[in-house]
């Protein structure tokens, strides 16, 4: 695919990443594409859903499989704004994704080049991988998100203080005598 087509699809993933940030999640967005048409959309919803598996790629893969009626997505390409983690790299391989295009590298958790190499994980299915597409845009979204979160942490006090405050706001148990039916 030409680089301008890659950039056009990565911009769609970036829009989804911005949605994650608005909902309080680390901004990562993904799209699954087949014949130039988006068949799956995803954004990180880990906080929103309190589910460690709700990464952008997982949501986009699930949506694509539902829409196409197949777990096998070997004629599909996945675009994601951040280098996939080990879980998502595994799912990408399991789904037989044809090619993976990502934006920024994730030095702490990325499983394409950073902490693991996707080619080593994909033993019997080769995924074409291309990184660095609109990486700067993706990085700016992430840095902006963490900068704002640090600022609001400072305004709110530490995480421990916030937790104590939240706990103190939990309603006291109703007096069982008052609560008991007459």
Residues at the contact surface with Zn ion, assessed by CB under 5 A: 55, 85, 87-88
Active-site pick, 7, 47, 54, 57: 57
Beta-bridge mates of residue 128: 99
Which residue, 8 or 105, has its beta carbon nearer to Zn ion?
A: 105
**CB of 132: closest distance to Zn ion in angstroms?**
18
Which residue, 102 or 133, has its beta carbon nearer to Zn ion?
A: 102
**CB of 84: closest distance to Zn ion in angstroms?**
5
Using CB positions, name the residue nearest to Zn ion: 88
H runs (alpha helix) in the chain:
3-22, 46-49, 56-68, 86-94, 118-121, 135-156, 159-168, 176-179
CA angle 133, 34, 132 (to 5 degrees): 10
Neighbours of 34 (CB within 10 A): 16
Tell me whether residue 57 is one of the annotated catalytic residues: yes
Which residue, 18 or 87, has its beta carbon nearer to Zn ion?
A: 87
Which residue, 55 or 62, has its beta carbon nearer to Zn ion?
A: 55
Q: Return d(Cα 31, Cα 52) in angstroms, integer.
A: 19
**CB of 135: closest distance to Zn ion in angstroms?**
17
**CB of 178: closest distance to Zn ion in angstroms?**
49
- Who contacts 117 (Cβ-Cβ below 8 Å, separation ≥6)? 111
Q: Return d(Cα 47, Cα 53) in angstroms, integer.
A: 11
Active site residues: 57
């Amino acid at each position: 695919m030409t680089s301008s087509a890659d950039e056009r699809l990565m911009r769609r993933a970036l829009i989804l990443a911005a949605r994650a940030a608005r909902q309080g999640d680390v901004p990562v967005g993904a799209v699954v594409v087949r014949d130039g048409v988006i068949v799956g959309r995803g954004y990180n919803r880990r906080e929103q859903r309190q589910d460690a598996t709700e990464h952008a790629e997982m949501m986009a893969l699930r949506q694509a499989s539902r829409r196409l009626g197949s777990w096998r997505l070997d004629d599909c390409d996945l675009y994601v704004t951040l280098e996939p983690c080990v879980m998502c790299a595994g799912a990408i391989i399991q789904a037989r994704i044809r090619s993976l295009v990502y934006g920024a590298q994730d030095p702490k958790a990325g499983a394409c080049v950073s902490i693991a190499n996707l080619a080593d994980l994909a033993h019997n299915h080769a995924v074409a991988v291309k990184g660095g597409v609109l990486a700067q845009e993706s990085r700016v979204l992430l840095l902006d998100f963490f900068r704002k979160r640090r600022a609001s942490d400072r305004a709110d006090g530490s995480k421990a203080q916030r937790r104590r405050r939240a706990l103190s706001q939990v309603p006291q148990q109703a007096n069982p005598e008052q609560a008991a039916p007459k």
